[in-house]
Amino acid sequence: MSEETGTIERKLEYLRKLASIKGIYLSMLNWEALLPVTHMNIASNVTYRMLMDMYLNLNLGIDSSTFEWHPLDYRKMFTPEFPPHPNPANIGSMTPKDLENSLWAFRYFVSSPEGYFAKHMSLTLAEHIYWYGETLRKRGVDTTVIDIMVDLLAFLEGFCKVTTYVGLATVGVSEVMPSWIDIRNPYDWKSTMSIQVTAIYESIVGLARVGYCRVTAPYGAPYLSVTTDLTDHFTASVEDFRKRTGMVAGSPEKTLYQRIFMLQREQDYHQHGGEHQIKLQTIINTVKKVLDREGIMVQARMSYINFAQEIYYLKYEPHRLWKRYKIMLTEDEIIDKYKRGGLNEDILREIKGRVSP
Residue 222 clears pLDDT 60, i.e. is over it: no
CB of 105 closer than 8 Å to CB of 324: no
DSSP letter at 145 equals: H
Q: What angle do CA 315, 316, 318 make, to 5 degrees?
A: 135
Cα–Cα distance measured from residue 228 to residue 299, given in angstroms and rounded to the nearest whole number: 51
CB of 22 closer than 8 Å to CB of 209: no
For residue range 3-31, what is the model confidence (pLDDT) as tens digits? 656 677 777 777 777 777 888 888 888 88
For residue range 186-206, what is the model confidence (pLDDT) as tens digits? 988 889 999 887 778 877 777
For 211, residues 6+ apart whose C-beta sits below 8 A from its C-beta are 87, 144
Cα–Cα distance measured from residue 18 to residue 35, given in angstroms and rounded to the nearest whole number: 19
Answering whether pTM is above 0.75, one says: yes
For residue range 81-110, what is the model confidence (pLDDT) as tens digits? 888 888 899 999 999 999 999 999 888 888
Give the model's confidence band at 219: pLDDT under 50 very low, under 70 low, under 90 confident, else very high: very low
| pLDDT in the model for residue 333 | 96
Cα–Cα distance measured from residue 46 to residue 332, given in angstroms and rounded to the nearest whole number: 33
CB of 69 closer than 8 Å to CB of 240: no
Cα–Cα distance measured from residue 152 to residue 156, given in angstroms and rounded to the nearest whole number: 6
* CA quadruple 171, 173, 176, 180: dihedral, nearest 10: -150
For residue range 54-77, what is the model confidence (pLDDT) as tens digits? 999 999 999 999 998 899 999 999
